[in-house]
């Protein structure tokens, strides 16, 4: 579930980045790099919470084995999503 949340969030941000020239004015501005850096920081926070939030909570609650299982299963799903995207790019 956490990996799916990260995948959906990253897909939305990627779509936004792909269409940013249509959304924003094409003239150079200091606001665009500022916006992109803030978006990067917020994205790191959101994805960090989605990937690490529940495992850290479980670990601190004494469920150490379950926290590592959740963390590595989330990582495995993210790697699977990455492989699926690479395959889709290679065979399109």
- % of the chain exceeding 90 in pLDDT: 61
- Domain assignment present for 59: yes
pTM of the model: 0.76
Cα-based torsion angle of the residue sequence 54, 58, 60, 61 in order, rounded to the nearest 10 degrees = 130
- Span 34-62, average pLDDT: 92
In a domain, 32, yes or no: no
Mean pLDDT in residue range 30-37: 80
Number of structural domains, the chain?
1
- Would residue 27 count as lying in a domain? no
pLDDT at 27: 67
Residue 58 is assigned to a structural domain of this protein:
yes
pLDDT tens column, 65-83: 999 999 999 999 999 999 9
Establish if 33 belongs to a structural domain: no
What is the spatial distance between Cα 43 and Cα 14, in angstroms, rounded to a whole number? 11
Distance of CA 45 to the CA centre of its chain: 9
Helices (H) and strands (E) in the chain, counts: 5, 0
Q: For residue 15, is pLDDT > 70?
A: yes
Task: Supply the range of the domain harboring residue 83.
Answer: 42-92
Q: Does the residue 14 lie in any domain?
A: no
Residue 51's pLDDT is: 93
């Amino acid at each position: 579930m956490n990996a799916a949340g990260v995948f959906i969030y990253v897909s939305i941000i990627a779509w936004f980045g792909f269409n940013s020239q249509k959304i924003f004015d094409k003239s150079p501005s200091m606001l665009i790099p500022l916006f992109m850096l803030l978006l990067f920081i917020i994205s790191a926070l959101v994805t960090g919470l989605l990937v690490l939030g529940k495992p850290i909570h479980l670990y601190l609650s004494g469920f150490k084995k379950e926290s590592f299982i959740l963390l590595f299963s989330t990582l495995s799903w993210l790697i699977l999503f990455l492989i699926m995207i690479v395959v889709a790019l290679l065979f399109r």
